[in-house]
Amino acid sequence: MQVLVNAQLYDLDTPFAYGGEGEIYDLTKQSVAKLYYDHLIDDERKQKVLALCNSHANFRKRHNDRMIAFPEAPAYHGTVSFDSVVGFSMCRYTFPKLDKLGFDISAGRFSEDSGLRFDDRTAIRFVYDTFGLVDQLHQSRIVLGDVNPGNIMCDPSTGKPVIIDVDAAQIGGFPCRATHDNYNDPQLLSRGKGRGGALPVDFGTDIFALAVVCFEFLVGRRPHWLRVTPPKLDKQNKAVGISSIRCIAIGRDHLSSHGVRYFPCPENESVERRVAQLKSLDKRLYDFFEGVFVRDDRENILFTLPISDVKHPANHFFETSGMAAVIRREKERRQVRDDVLARQGQRAVPDSGFKDLIASLVPSPSTPSSPKRTTRQQCPDPAEFGNFLKQFNLRLSTS
């Protein structure tokens, strides 16, 4: 079969991979083509391919990396026309997938089948980096929808994640038609199906699904895997909110309201030990999992980081806007003040965590802001600081 990609004609012979929607062929050493099965190529799919390819250039301008297998150029059969669209090209990735790299709870270590060697610290960094990639897509108004460990790879040379199968994503008015039952958000299932049978995915359902993927990667079991009596499947537990981390967080008494009892067994104990280990390694990550699976939070973990952390989505603006410099100057000023007081034998003023600085810049919701401008002596920081915090709904942390 001959296809035309970026004005170059390619003779395609045998696909090297197959999927539920199409086949993958070699184009060059750096790129491949995904061609859809004939019965799946309709006008909506062609329009979606063109929309994703048009978004590719803008996405690359905002996010200068190639760690997402984004559709790059339409593939045509014959002439360059809408009717001739049969698929698209994308960057080639042959890295191991996450479903082969996770923690082996029976062995008490990460799998080494792929040759990659994860330890707890590198695995936790990998999780944060994966949430970073998903945030990049969300910033571009793209919902992945089909989030599962088979769609996430690891680059062995960098230890960084790669997301593939982005063509299934929801973009604009084009829905995501492929999701994975084991990772679907129960809130998503309760909404029912939309046009053409597609589930109404959104940013929150992506966060839930990725939380399940990452929990499974780090612990060796999905969060809703729990041995109870009478036995229940993962999806049955998920439907009613039964999870191992809920039992750890609030106890096991709630299980009786679902007509089941906790079954003491080595498997449950192994999961509990592993979760406790993760909690001691990264309390923030544990709190995130507890928030998702116990309190139904759907916020990307990156937003819980201090804004001074480079992983925080608003960090770039925080740094380039001058706000980071404001905080640094204020910290230096307060340190000088405390040093002077110490030399004079006086007690240093307790650090309020900059709450007083924020209070001076952000008016109380119940009190209208005064039109009077503050002087440099009253407030040594830009007046825009308060607007910046409000605009991005930021909780300032300088730790």
For residue range 75-133, what is the model confidence (pLDDT) as tens digits?
A: 999 889 999 999 999 998 989 999 888 898 888 888 876 677 889 999 999 999 999 99
Average pLDDT, integer, range 208-229: 96
CB atoms within 10 A of CB 257: 8
Q: How far apart are CA 95 and CA 233, in angstroms?
A: 31
**Contacts with 283 (C-beta within 8 Å, 6 or more apart), sequence order:** none
Dist CA 123 CA 125 (whole Å)? 5
Task: State the DSSP H helix or E strand holding residue 85, giving kind and residue range, or none if neither.
Answer: strand 85-91
3-state DSSP percent of the chain in helix, strand and coil, to 5: 45, 15, 40
C-alpha span between 222 and 58 (Å, rounded): 35
* DSSP tag of 245: H
Among left, alpha and beta (phi > 0; psi -120 to 50; other), residue 6 is left
Per-chain mean pLDDT for the chain:
84
Instruction: Concatenate the DSSP letters of all residues of 271-289 into one string.
Output: HHHHHHHHHHH-HHHHHHH
Helices 283-294 + 203-219 axis angle, to 10 = 120
**Residues 6 or more apart whose Cβ sits within 8 Å of residue 251:** none
* Contact between 278 and 219 (Cβ < 8 Å): yes
| CA distance linking residue 224 with residue 301, whole number of Å | 20
Which residue in the block uniquely carries the two structure tokens 């440099």? 376
Strand partners, 91: 31
Mean pLDDT of 16-34: 89
Q: Which of 190, 191, 257, 183 is nearest to 225 (CA)?
A: 183
- 3-state DSSP call for residue 224? coil
Q: In which band, very low, low, confident or very high, does the pLDDT at 255 lie, cut at 50, 70 and 90? A: very high
Structure tokens at 398: 């300088």
Residue 86: the pLDDT is 95
Answer yes or no: are the C-beta atoms of 167 and 56 closer than 8 Å.
no
- Which distant-in-sequence residues (6+ apart) come within 8 Å of 71 by Cβ? 34, 49, 52, 53, 56, 88, 89, 90, 166, 167
Our CA angle for 260, 265, 269, nearest 5°, is 105
Which pLDDT band, with edges at 50, 70 and 90, does 362 fall under? very low
Average pLDDT over residues 257-265: 94
CA proximity to 392, closest of 312, 329, 336, 280: 312
Residue 97 backbone class (left: φ over 0; alpha: ψ -120 to 50; beta: rest) = beta
Q: What is the pLDDT of residues 315-326, one digit of tens each?
A: 766 667 776 677
- Binned at pLDDT 50, 70 and 90, residue 363 comes out as very low
Report d(CA 262, CA 226) in Å as an integer: 8
| Backbone φ/ψ region at 17: left (φ over 0), alpha (ψ -120 to 50), beta | beta
d(CA 21, CA 183): 19
Picking from 261, 286, 260, 259, the residue whose alpha carbon sits closest to that of residue 272 is 286
* CATH value of 94-304 in 1.10.10.60, 1.10.510.10, 1.10.3720.10, 1.25.60.10: 1.10.510.10
Beta bridge partners of 34: 24, 88
- Between residues 94 and 367, which one has the greater pLDDT? 94
The DSSP output letter for 210 is H
Residue 348: per-residue pLDDT: 63
Tell the residue number behind the tokens 């060059």, with chain if given.
28
Where does the pLDDT of residue 189 fall: very low under 50, low under 70, confident under 90, or very high at 90 and above? confident
Type of residue found at 330: E
pLDDT over threshold 70, residue 359: no
Which residues lie below 8 Å from residue 98, measured CB to CB, with a gap of 6+? 149, 150, 152, 153, 154, 161, 213, 217
